[in-house]
Amino acid sequence: MPPMAPPRNQKSVRSDLIDLAGHGDDIREASDALKAMAHPLRLKILCLVGQHELMVQEIVEAVGTSQSNISQHLAVMRERGLLASRKEANKVFYRIDDPRILKMIGMMREVFCSV
């Protein structure tokens, strides 16, 4: 009996991977985004600010670590373009400004979380 053909969506995923592999700039951008997300606290922060814009203090309270620790992680993600910020008086608000990052978080939730 011949082997079964992969499901249609699996072929699509494979062709998307081949397509991505041929684009050096896209590979670098994807790699940089994944590196910036590749810390449990950063991923938790992204999940929080993916829902709505939050002040630094709200992130500190939700994550449960020091403000200096959170600020370091926020700086990494802001420098890598995952987060945008705005200042209002003495408060800094963070949000995800790139819909691709929201999509990646949603896909990770779908794949890794038992919902």
Distance CA 12, CA 31 (A): 21
* Domain-embedded: residue 19: yes
pLDDT band at residue 3 under the 50/70/90 scheme: low
* Domain-embedded: residue 32: yes
Strand 83-88 with 91-96, pairing: antiparallel
> Helix or strand or coil: residue 12?
helix
Give the model's pLDDT for residue 94: 98
Question: Is the separation of the CB atoms in 89 and 75 below 8 Å?
Answer: no
**pTM confidence score:** 0.77
* Domain-embedded: residue 1: no
* Domain-embedded: residue 78: yes
* Domain-embedded: residue 2: no
Distance CA 51, CA 55 (A): 13
- Expressed as residue numbers, the domain containing 56 is 9-112
Distance CA 97, CA 80 (A): 12
User: Could you give the number of structural domains in the chain?
Assistant: 1
Give the model's pLDDT for residue 17: 57
If you average pLDDT over every residue of the chain, what do you get?
85
Give the model's pLDDT for residue 16: 62
